[in-house]
Amino acid sequence: MNTCLAPEPDLVCRLKARDPQAMAELYDLYGRMVFRVILRTVCDETAAEDLTQDAFLRVWNGVRSFDDRRGAFGSWITAVARNTAIDYLRSPVARNSRTTVELKDVDGSRRFSAFEDWVNNLDRARILHGAFEKLTESQREVLNLAYVEGMSHAEIARSLNRPLGTIKTWVRSALRVLAAQVTFTPELVPGPARVK
């Protein structure tokens, strides 16, 4: 016997009669509340959005079992929402989502690689700095002009007003000193192609 004594008796009766418009009205009335109940339980906004839809589907499929003598319609909907969330938390899907983490959330490999590169570059910089301390002022100056300023040997000779042969000698001797201090590889010293 259907007495429809709920606070929204017309809405409940229309839901029991399978009126789709009644479902839309129900969602407008209770959608936000159901979402909040579920979100509080599952603590995952995306899952809560999906579960809200599931809860309303359960209401639609189970509204005929609603008995207003056992409680208010709003309380019944809240119970359906809570049960939907609890069922989700007990499901293998939820257990897997709690024990596995998205690769993008833990993929520190790129960040670690960047950090490792930074440390390696820092180590190279320290080694080069120590090696540069062993150079004469002239050797440091020609290497700076060649590798930092990107000048050619001829441009350095003109800039320092020195013979080209002297500049080449200074560069070669500076590179020998550096090679004796560090395992020299071209990437350690940025700049123009290897000096010959």
φ and ψ of 71, to 5 deg: 160, 175
What confidence tens digit (pLDDT) does each residue in 88-106 have? 988 887 766 654 444 444 4
Half-sphere exposure of 93 (CA within 13 A, CB side): 8
CATH of the domain at 159: 1.10.10.10
62 and 86 belong to one structural domain? yes
Is residue 161 in a domain?
yes
pLDDT at residue 55 in the model: 95
Residues of the domain holding 156: 109-188
Is residue 123 in a domain?
yes
- The number of folded domains in the chain is 2
pLDDT at residue 167 in the model: 92
What confidence tens digit (pLDDT) does each residue in 51-75 have? 999 999 999 999 998 887 887 888 8
CATH of the domain at 79: 1.10.1740.10
Q: How far apart are the first and last CA of the chain?
A: 102
Is residue 194 in a domain?
no
pTM comes to: 0.47
